[in-house]
C-alpha cells in the first residue's frame, strides 16, 4: 500500500483540533488570560505533498514573549487572534508525501495545537534510534543551534578563556556551559537557585556557579564575580542588573554575546528600563557586543547536529528536559519559563505516541 493510498483513506474525515489562540497582548507577565482555547474541526483531506501530523511535544521558549512585545523585534509582533506559533515534535497521521509515512516522527514549526497540516518541505524527519525525539526541540534543535553557533561564532572561544553564562541553567545556557568546558574554557554559571548551582557544577562541569538570589544587587554580584579575575566571554541570556554586574569586569577584547534579555521581556521591551550606561567599557577593552538569533544559523543545522549528536549519544553533553503534561498547560508553562521555575529545556507533552 502506497503512502498516498493510506492518506486517501482518511481524507474525508474531520478531526477535533484544539488550538491556543494568542488573543491579547500582555502588559507585563504573560498568563493564560492572554490566550483563548479554540476547538475546531480539521478537515483531514490533504493536498499533494501535504502531511497531517499529530503533535506530541510542543515547545515553550523565551523568544515567544519577545514576539508579544508591542514593538517590532526581528519582525512585526506576533499577530493577535492567531495560533501561537511554536516548534513541535509530532507523528505523522496521514500523508500525501512520498517522504513521510504514518507513524514517522517529525519536527516542524507550527504552533500550540493538537494537529497540523504541513507541506513536506516544512517537516524534518527524526530518527528515534539516534536520540530521544524531544531533543529536536532542545539540544539537537533550536536551543542547541543557538548555543553552538552563538558560543562558537560570536563568542570565539580560546582554551583558557573565562566564560560567564547568565541563565546558565536554561535550555541554551546549560549547553553553553558544556560547550565552553569542551572548548577548554573556565566557566562560571549564573542562575537562580542553589539546586541549579549544584547541577551546573556537579553534573555539567561548570567551574563555579553563582545563585544571583544570594547576591541580589549589582554590586554584590559584581563583587562575587570579581573573584574570578575578568571575563573573556559573557554569554548573556538575561540582561538587566545581572549584565550590569558583569560588563565592568570584561577583559581586553572580550566578546559579549546577546542571546536573550529575559529580565526585560515582561514589559521593558516596550518601555525600556533605565540602567547604568556601559558603552565606555567597550571602548576601554576594545570589546564586542553581538546579538544572535537561532534563525541565522538554520542553514547550518547539519553542521551543529553532526558535531553535537555524537556527544549527546556518548554522554559528553548532558541535556535536561522538564516535560509538563497536558495541552491545557501550555500558557502557564510559558509563564513559568519566564520566571525561571525550571531547568534545562521546557516542553509540554500534549498526546501519547503511537
State residue 27 phi and psi, 5-degree precision: -80, -35
CB 238 within 8 A of CB 273: no
CB 157 within 8 A of CB 233: yes
DSSP summary character for residue 290? E
Q: Which residue has the cell 523565551?
A: 62
Identity of the residue, 77 or 336, whose beta carbon is nearer to a second copy in the bound complex: 77
What's the grid cell of residue 287?
570589546
Q: How far apart are CA 330 and CA 110, in angstroms?
A: 14
Q: How far apart are CA 165 and CA 151, in angstroms?
A: 10
Q: How far is the CB of 264 from a second copy (least distance, A)?
A: 6
Q: Who contacts 196 (Cβ-Cβ below 8 Å, separation ≥6)? A: 168, 169, 209, 211, 343
Identity of the residue, 67 or 91, whose beta carbon is nearer to a second copy in the bound complex: 67
Q: How far is the CB of 129 from a second copy (least distance, A)?
A: 36
Q: How far apart are CA 138 and CA 127, in angstroms?
A: 15
Q: How far apart are CA 313 and CA 193, in angstroms?
A: 29
Q: How far apart are CA 332 and CA 52, in angstroms?
A: 27
Q: Which residue has the cell 537557585?
A: 193
Q: How far is the CB of 78 from a second copy (least distance, A)?
A: 14
Q: How far is the CB of 278 from a second copy (least distance, A)?
A: 7
Identity of the residue, 164 or 309, whose beta carbon is nearer to a second copy in the bound complex: 164
Q: How far is the CB of 283 from a second copy (least distance, A)?
A: 4
DSSP 317-351: S---EEEEE-GGGHHHHHHHHHTT-S-BEEEEE-S
Identity of the residue, 23 or 73, whose beta carbon is nearer to a second copy in the bound complex: 73
Q: Is 45 helix (H, G, I), strand (E, B) or coil?
A: coil
Identity of the residue, 200 or 338, whose beta carbon is nearer to a second copy in the bound complex: 338
Identity of the residue, 135 or 285, whose beta carbon is nearer to a second copy in the bound complex: 285
Q: How far is the CB of 211 from a second copy (least distance, A)?
A: 23
Q: How far is the CB of 28 from a second copy (least distance, A)?
A: 16
CB 281 within 8 A of CB 254: no
Residues found near a second copy in the complex (CB under 8 A): 66, 72-74, 236, 239-240, 243, 258-261, 264, 268-269, 272-293, 296
Identity of the residue, 72 or 121, whose beta carbon is nearer to a second copy in the bound complex: 72
Q: How far is the CB of 166 from a second copy (least distance, A)?
A: 12
Q: How far is the CB of 276 from a second copy (least distance, A)?
A: 4
Identity of the residue, 92 or 246, whose beta carbon is nearer to a second copy in the bound complex: 246
Helix (H) or strand (E) holding 37: strand 35-43
80 alpha carbon, distance to own chain's centre: 22
What's the grid cell of residue 237?
541570556
CB 87 within 8 A of CB 141: yes
Identity of the residue, 52 or 233, whose beta carbon is nearer to a second copy in the bound complex: 233
What's the grid cell of residue 110?
507550527
Identity of the residue, 202 or 295, whose beta carbon is nearer to a second copy in the bound complex: 295
Q: How far is the CB of 150 from a second copy (least distance, A)?
A: 11
Amino acid at each position: 500500500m502506497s503512502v498516498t493510498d493510506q492518506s486517501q483513506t482518511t481524507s474525508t474525515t474531520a478531526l477535533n483540533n484544539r488550538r491556543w489562540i494568542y488573543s491579547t497582548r500582555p502588559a507585563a507577565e504573560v498568563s493564560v488570560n492572554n490566550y483563548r482555547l479554540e476547538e475546531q474541526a480539521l478537515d483531514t483531506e490533504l493536498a499533494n505533498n501535504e502531511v497531517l501530523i499529530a503533535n506530541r511535544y510542543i515547545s515553550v521558549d523565551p523568544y515567544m514573549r519577545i514576539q508579544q512585545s508591542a514593538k517590532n523585534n526581528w519582525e512585526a509582533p506576533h499577530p493577535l487572534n492567531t495560533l501561537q506559533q511554536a516548534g513541535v515534535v509530532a507523528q505523522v497521521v496521514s500523508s500525501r508525501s512520498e517522504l513521510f509515512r504514518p507513524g514517522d516522527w517529525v519536527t516542524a514549526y507550527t504552533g500550540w495545537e493538537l494537529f497540523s497540516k504541513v507541506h513536506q518541505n516544512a517537516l524534518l524527519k527524526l530518527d528515534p534510534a539516534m536520540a530521544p525525539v524531544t531533543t529536536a526541540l532542545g539540544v539537537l534543535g533550536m536551543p542547541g543551534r543557538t548555543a553552538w553557533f552563538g558560543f562558537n561564532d560570536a563568542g570565539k572561544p580560546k582554551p583558557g578563556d573565562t566564560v560567564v553564562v547568565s541563565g546558565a541553567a536554561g535550555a541554551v545556557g546549560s549547553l553553553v556551559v558544556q560547550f565552553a568546558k569542551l572548548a577548554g574554557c573556565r566557566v562560571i554559571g549564573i542562575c537562580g537557585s542553589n539546586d541549579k548551582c549544584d547541577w551546573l557544577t556537579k553534573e555539567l562541569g561548570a567551574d563555579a556557579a553563582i545563585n544571583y538570589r544570594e547576591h541580589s544587587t549589582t554590586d554584590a554580584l559584581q563583587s562575587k564575580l570579581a573573584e574570578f579575575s575578568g571575563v573573556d566571554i559573557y554569554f548573556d541570556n538575561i540582561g538587566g542588573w545581572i549584565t550590569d554586574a558583569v560588563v565592568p569586569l570584561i577583559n581586553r577584547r572580550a566578546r559579549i554575546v546577546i542571546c536573550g534579555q529575559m529580565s526585560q521581556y515582561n514589559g521593558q521591551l516596550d518601555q525600556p528600563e533605565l540602567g547604568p550606561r556601559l558603552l565606555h567599557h567597550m571602548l576601554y577593552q576594545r570589546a564586542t557586543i553581538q546579538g544572535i538569533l537561532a534563525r541565522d544559523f538554520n542553514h547550518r543545522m547539519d553542521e551543529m547536529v553532526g558535531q553535537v549528536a555524537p556527544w549527546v549519544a556518548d554522554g559528553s553533553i548532558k541535556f535536561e528536559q522538564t516535560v509538563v503534561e497536558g495541552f491545557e498547560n501550555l500558557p502557564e508553562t510559558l509563564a513559568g519559563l519566564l520566571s525561571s521555575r525550571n531547568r534545562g529545556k521546557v516542553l509540554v507533552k500534549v498526546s501519547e505516541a503511537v
